[in-house]
Structure 1
Amino acid sequence: MNRFLSHATNRVDAKGRVSVPAPFRSVLQERQIQELYGFQDFVFPAISIGGPELMERFERQLGQLDAFSPEAHQMSLLVHGGGVFMKLDPEGRLMVTDFIRAFTGITTEVTFVGRADYFQLWQPRAFQDAQQAARLAHQRRSAPAT
């Protein structure tokens, strides 16, 4: 198992920490990811988290743009200005910081959502609503024309 799949909801403890689901920790271990990069998702009210290669992917894309272009500046604002480095504690927990709470609306629970080579932190209801909207949009696109 080397991909982040499925979703799970865990409670935030009194100190503001949340346990990363065991299957996600296994992927981190298998991929030998020690340092995490988290950023504010470009579309959803979620924090996307992955290893250094996630940030490198965005920086390669930025490197292909004219450094002085509005597009490059906007992307840097999202990738760098909306990003943080994170680490799991020895028990496999992440700190749910004000940076995370303010962007996602997370309070007492976090839904971890697998996104193949990274995962996301969501406020549980927001995830349910977004997943339902995606399902309905897909059904409309794939419904036979009448």
Structure 2
Amino acid sequence: MPGAKTAVAWLASVAPDPGACRREWERNPQGIALLPAGKAWDVLFLPSRLGCPTLDVLFRVLDQPGPVLADSRDARTGFLVPPGTAARWLGTGVRTAGPGTWIVVPHPGRPSAAGVRWLIPPDGSGTLTDPALLELAMHEAAAGLAAGEGER
């Protein structure tokens, strides 16, 4: 994956020791690193029942949304958003990761064996999902889910 090296450097840049983080990431058979949120990005975790349709909406309006994580059970979808978003976000069922929070992050260039994976891996450019656009996409996805439930 050509952008994986750049993506690894971008993600590892938030670690207390980026070089050690990159080395451990390459050696770790799980293919994961524990990284602090709140420096280069925050994360908004949506229940996947809402997160996956939200991602579908984002793909209709953007060529490339920011990086998106999913857990192995597909219970949660995590959108990387600008730092500071977690502190201001209010939303039922949405979990946030900002300053003081560490998250499990899979290597962007290879599969993870640790229960978390990239739905959209970072490209290393620092592109993040715009929180206002994410909120609008969430509303549209929720409305679509509600309409689908009403038809049953």
Instruction: Indicate whether the TM-score tops 0.5.
Output: no
TM-score (norm 2): 0.27
Instruction: Report the structure number with the largest CA radius of gyration.
Output: 1
